Chain A
């Protein structure tokens, strides 16, 4: 791409400046690679300092806190892995972990699965353009506001869901959605979350569908493939890169859900709808079992990190393919 044989895009780390011309001294830059590199580091300083102080240091410190019995009031004593051991025996933690799995499953099924379905549907009708906006609009409001809105959709007596059910004669199906036996209360919240999150996943799939090369499709059509077979054997594999992205992002996000749960039930009633993210907050900032809460955070992070590694590997594999 370049006219200058010695010029290469700087991808790998290290090395000299690509091109140095005598007129460099006009900018005031001192000649000599060391000085130039030092100046270059200055560019990095603001972002590294901010991220280091406000993100990386706290992350490391949380690991330390998880090994203490801190309560936020007095001093913290080192207790080793006690917190982690107690976690495994804590029934609230078990419920929390189970709910987190429901969230993961729910998000994959509803947001990703339904998102793909809707993308297929919309890409094949002329309505697609208009309806896209409707599905994406909820994604522009916050999770907290979504939680508040759906809280009122779900309220047992005045909420619109139960009112509508009663109106059409299905009064027997009414529930106290957010205080119902788990996991119904969790699933109710997952529906609210899907309302908000379907738009972006659907849009991503639409982009993916758009960028599928035509030749394999045409070839398969020539071979007589139609309908579901066409979709399953040709379209879906071609969509795999985008699917990997969507699944990866949704998966990681489903572990971190907090806002919408806190807005709707605060993890209740009786802690039955807590997920790991909510448990961490409750233990640290409501019950002030700060060390214990930190251990939940670390555990959550480990799970997310492991998943992220798998996701990144899948992504990098995609580059090698294309």
Chain B
């Protein structure tokens, strides 16, 4: 990430405005940051306590035996199908994001470079998939899935996640592809490359940056999904991780807060790690969204 503070002309144009209250701003920012960390503190510290410890001691008390964490993680992993859900979500995220990028890029390429008629219409058609609130899809999907036997199957979930990830991929890649200079394509064609070769060998590698961002965004979205996982699946191992996490809260589940939060920890780690790894692409990604149209 480029130094935002420097680039934002921070030094020059901000200082005269707020020079007097600069220390107050520091305090305010720091206080808010500390407050922001408290729930994360809860997320990390609570699973290190045993269930009776949670009930009896203060919330701020440090755990007696932090290694209790592993015991709680293990219990959480085997409760309410959280472990199988973790694996399932992993496969859905990888497959869905990858396929959506491929299909979206194919479409973006066709619209921007192959001169399909009514390219803009196709773009809007597919993009409209994101405009509707998800509630519009739920009931018919549920009925369709139960009628065709896709309900509660890996294929059913993977197909859906791919479909819903496509519109944004199309959106970003269409924008990106239309910025690729015509010379590159013409030069390649002069060398005898066909359309698909140009797509696969030139456009896609050029789009590495946006693709990384798209992968990050779509994997994260799929991983974090609750609603469709809740409606379209129920068995352990098919059901994604977030519905399983909520399932740990059921009355018959009989687990305590340290175990449920251990589950939340398990559910949160992958996307946090992904963010830490690919985070530098993030700003680029946000700029892409904002600067797209």
Contact = CB atoms under 8 A, between A and B. Distances in A.
Q: Is the interface of A mostly helix, strand, loop or mixed?
A: helix
B22 to A, nearest CB: 7
Greatest chain B CB density within 10 A among A51, A159, A218, A256 is at A51
B216 to A, nearest CB: 10
Interface string A273-312: 0000100110011000010011011101100110010000
Contacts of B58: 163, 167
B227 A259 contact: yes
Interface stretch (A2-10, A83-91, A173-181, A182-190): A2-10
A276 to B, nearest CB: 8
B132 A59 contact: yes
Contacts of A131: 29-30, 33
B182 A4 contact: yes
Interface residues of A, number: 131
B268 A43 contact: no
Contact of A214 (B4, B9, B113, B178): B9
B198 to A, nearest CB: 9
Contact of B29 (A122, A149, A164, A198): A122
B261 A148 contact: yes
Given A124-B15, A206-B4, A297 B140 contact: no
A123 B141 contact: no
A62 B106 contact: no
Interface string A207-242: 111101010011001000011001100000000001
Nearest to A297: B135
A230 B197 CA distance: 54
A54 B159 contact: yes
Interface string B155-174: 00001101110110010000
Interface residues of B, number: 122
A285 B134 CA distance: 14
B4 A210 contact: yes
B8 A59 contact: no
Nearest to B231: A285
Interface in A137-190: 137-138, 140-146, 148-153, 155, 158-160, 163-164, 167
A57 B139 CA distance: 11
A106 interface: no
Given A15-B117, A152-B260, A160-B38, 15 more contacts: A1-B181, A27-B196, A41-B110, A47-B106, A53-B163, A54-B159, A56-B128, A62-B136, A124-B25, A140-B274, A144-B224, A144-B226, A152-B46, A207-B286, A281-B227
Interface of A: 1-4, 7, 9-19, 21, 23-24, 26-29, 36-37, 39-41, 43-44, 46-48, 50-59, 61-62, 65, 72, 118, 121-129, 131-132, 134-138, 140-146, 148-153, 155, 158-160, 163-164, 167, 195, 198, 200, 203-204, 206-210, 212, 214, 217-218, 221, 226-227, 230-231, 242, 245, 255-256, 258-259, 262-263, 277, 280-281, 284-285, 290, 293-294, 296-298, 300-301, 304-305, 308, 315-316, 318-319
